A = this chain, B = another copy of it.
């Protein structure tokens, strides 16, 4: 090329000269590079874990599969953590990594909501097939259910259509499968085209609230309620999760004749189910309740609930772990608004652990975004979501120093439209600096998920990046026991039981042919 400042002969001479001094240059570059890379490596979540020989073997197997699946994804342009869960779910279920995660003993699920635990398929195929089940449709098109004998009096006009006996309706329906699918559609958020169907955060929150309204009459029927909790425990147990902490509002529960039961009854019902489940499921470690109230309520009501939580914790110390506020943060009151109510325990010298949702928002610099600081000032035990934490350097450092973990629920955050590509989830940055965290699934049933495995998969394959290995999985699981509300002796016991399970899992994984 004319005017080329260097011709090729000159170039070659220069490259040669460079090659001669290359050794010293590279030592310099490589040294600085290695130092920076090493410092990051040692900081990363899980890096402190030293793997035993068998774990190293198992890890090689796991990482080979992970690598293969990522390569495959690069070819097909279908990488599940980058896709919406509704579209990625079937891909995950084909993944060998996912099946290993399913089998992995996962410790505890610490962020769950009561009525999103058990799969909606079970609700449709089991509960709606029970006798004495009626339904009506509100003017907004929301299904409502009620179990009753005799038939319930019809709702007042404008509230709901007349009650229809479900059994009869199904008998007369031309296509039962189609009818059951329409129920399932009403009970979950799953859709083929989530971007279209849910154009805004309002739309997803509206739908999730409608689901709760719909299933409320089903799950709050006394016999169903106990079966529902049992079914939830069963699904988590099948997913190798043996301890659960559940946010519950302790809604009143009703009988066929319309009689309702209060919150004490509900807590006792939990106790019964736990006992029954423990009897039939070896290795089950229990369940604890985080009594929760709606963050749209008045200060007086929250004050009342805080005191109720104090009382319940006194009455059921083994069962009631503490208190939280639930509902959409962006449209509710912030924690500071309730400070009189939330400082009642400390004012009375009573211990009431808090497990506050905070920072489940994309809005930066709003009063809601302040929930993170308020949660910490109010000495929260853990932070529900903490999605906004990376925007707050001081709170990030503070929570790390005080060892306050965040409860990361990737699929929930994605479905609720906080983030689309999960490789961008802020937990990636927090993992980079070894921030304390656990993984949970929030309300898996309404997202069409089950147990914890789908969320663990997202973290392992997407959020943790290409290098995340067995150590991050192990730390996440150990964290779920460490940061649970169990007393120390129970934690120690569970950790011991879990370690046996873990070793068996590792042995099997290490033994699998390549």
**Partner-B contacts on A (CB < 8 A):** 1-6, 8, 11, 14-15, 17-19, 21-22, 25-26, 29, 32-33, 36-37, 39-40, 43, 77, 82, 195, 199-200, 202, 252, 262-265, 300, 303-304, 307-308, 311-312, 315, 336, 339-341, 343-344, 346-348, 362-366, 369-370, 373-374, 376-378, 390-395, 398, 417-421, 423-424, 426, 428-429, 432-433, 464-468
Q: Are B366 and A15 touching (Cβ within 8 A)?
A: no
- Contact assessment for A37 and B262 in the assembled complex, using a CB-CB cutoff below 8 Å: no
Q: Is the CB of A340 within 8 A of B18?
A: yes
29 A-B Cβ contacts within 8 A? A1-B252, A3-B265, A4-B308, A5-B264, A11-B300, A11-B304, A14-B303, A14-B348, A17-B348, A18-B343, A19-B340, A22-B343, A25-B343, A26-B343, A29-B343, A33-B377, A37-B373, A40-B395, A77-B199, A363-B465, A363-B466, A364-B467, A365-B468, A366-B466, A390-B432, A391-B428, A393-B433, A419-B424, A426-B429
Decide yes or no: A307 and B391 within 8 Å by CB, A29-B339, A364-B423, A424-B419 being known contacts.
Answer: no
The residue on B at minimum CB distance from A362 is B423
CA distance A18 to B395 in the complex (A): 28
Among B2, B391, B421, B428, point to the contact of A432 (Cβ < 8 A): B391
On chain B, the residues within 8 Å of A391 by CB distance are 428-429, 432, 465
B15 close to A300 (CB less than 8 A): yes
Q: A392 CB to closest chain B CB, in angstroms? A: 6
- A429 near B15 with CB under 8 A, answer no
| CB-defined contacts of A315 to chain B, threshold 8 Å | 5
What chain B residues lie within 8 Å of A374 (beta carbons)?
33
- Residue in A307, A394, A417 with the greatest tally of chain B CB atoms within 10 Å: A394
B residues in contact with A423, CB < 8 Å: 362-364
- Tell me whether A303 and B18 are in contact (CB under 8 A): yes
- Among A308, A336, A362, max chain B CB count under 10 A is at A362
Nearest-Cβ distance from residue A249 to partner chain B, whole angstroms = 13
B residues within 8 A CB of A15?
Answer: 300, 303, 340, 344
